[in-house]
Amino acid sequence: MKDREILLIVTSVILTLIFSNLALFLKSFSSTPFASPEIKKAARQIEIDDFRKSEQDFWRRIKDVDFDSRPQKTATAKTEKKSIAPTQKTTKKPAKKPRLTRPYRKFLFLGDSVMLDLGTQLQYSLKENYNIANTKIDYKVSSGLNRIDYYDWYARTRQVIGDYQPDVMVVIFGGNDTQDIADFQGKYRAIGSKEWQKAYRERVDKYAKLLAASPVRKVYWIGQARSNKSHYRKLFPAMNEIYRDVSKSHPKITFISTWDTFAEGGEFAPVVADKYGKRGYVKVNDGLHFTLHGSRIVSDLIIDRMVADKILKTPKKKP
């Protein structure tokens, strides 16, 4: 009787231990040779569940931490500099590329018969000193801006500009314009009168507007030079003043005065030195057309202005 009581007490104690910590019992018993596969599987599941519970408890503790209540470290000057450095950094703008100017390669010389000698010399100078061969002379004997009934320079100029497409033009008129004129209303005006000057200015202004509206990039309007003929000496100053005034209204057009080019002491000089010191006659007997020497002087004057305007580059000195 006593043995049965002892066995019952022992059994009760064992059962109490087992049920009080079943998980521990199963994990311990599963490592013995007596454990069945089902008991081993149950013990493994308990381990997994314990791990998950531990993991959940860990993240719960992390979430429960009040970071706002933790003391904050004061940012050092070095940290502050790093934080503001990006806002203080200035982005350098890329340097602008220099604007390249398209070179002036096509030249048109246009006017009355005076342009034949002058244009020929200009062609020679441009080819010899600047390697520019794309030039054209367009002239008409006895023509001008006065007798447009004889030769219409307005129509002809539009045509030749459209065909040739020049970059630069040199024009000269006036030698054949010293005669009575019919204004745009058809009224005749006596040569040299105020009405004549007004009518001639209208002709010049119309022609200048035509040039200004054209694709030509630069125009040089050449004035009349002094003459030994009283007829020209009387009218050329007023005509030159018209050319000068009208040109001022159009930035594309530059007036080049030649009035004092053939003068000494305020009077016409038949013999003049060029820029190299060589002297020679400058005009033929009609007091209007240039000699070869006179053409060189006026041509050099025009070329020098083109260089100053950067139409032409200063040529390299020949050895």
- For 62-94, give the DSSP string: HHH--GGGSPPPPPPHHHHHHHHHHHHPPPPPP
The secondary structure of the chain in percent helix, strand, coil, rounded to multiples of 5, reads 50, 15, 40
* Strand, coil or helix: 137: strand
Looking at residue 74, its pLDDT comes to: 47
Can you tell me the distance from the alpha carbon of 260 to that of 230, in angstroms, rounded to the nearest whole number?
Answer: 16
CATH class entry, domain 107-308: alpha beta
Separation of CA 129 from chain center: 29
The single-letter code of the amino acid at 286 is D
> What pLDDT is recorded for position 79?
44
Q: SS3 sequence, 99-131? A: CCCCCCCCEEEEECCHHHHHHHHHHHHHHHHHC
User: pLDDT at position 314, please?
Assistant: 78
Question: Residue with structure tokens 């030698």?
Answer: 175
Q: Where exactly are the structural domains of the chain?
A: 2-64, 107-308
Looking at residue 21, its pLDDT comes to: 58
Structure pTM? Answer: 0.69
Task: Give the Cα-Cα-Cα angle 145, 250, 159 (nearest 5 degrees).
Answer: 50
Name 105's bridge partners: none
Return the structure tokens found at 233. 């000496």
- What's the confidence (pLDDT) of residue 40? 62
* pLDDT of 83: 47
Q: Which of 154, 147, 163 is nearest to 210 (CA)?
A: 154
**Residues found in the chain:** 319
Measure the CA–CA gap between 107 and 164, rounded to whole angstroms: 9
Residue keyed to tokens 């390669």: 105
pLDDT by position in tens, the chain (length 319): 556 766 666 566 565 555 555 555 555 656 666 666 666 666 666 655 564 555 455 445 544 444 444 445 444 444 444 444 455 556 666 666 666 678 999 999 999 999 999 999 999 999 999 999 999 999 999 999 999 999 999 999 999 999 999 999 999 999 999 999 999 999 999 999 999 999 999 999 999 999 999 999 999 999 999 999 999 999 999 999 999 999 999 999 999 999 999 999 999 999 999 999 999 999 999 999 999 999 999 999 999 999 999 999 977 565 4
Using CA atoms of 158, 160, 165, 171 in order, give the dihedral in degrees to the nearest 10.
-80
Alpha-carbon dihedral sign for residues 132, 138, 143, 147: negative
Token representation of residue 311? 């139409």
The values of phi and psi at residue 105, to 5°, are -115, -20
pLDDT at position 110: 98
Residue 214's pLDDT is 98
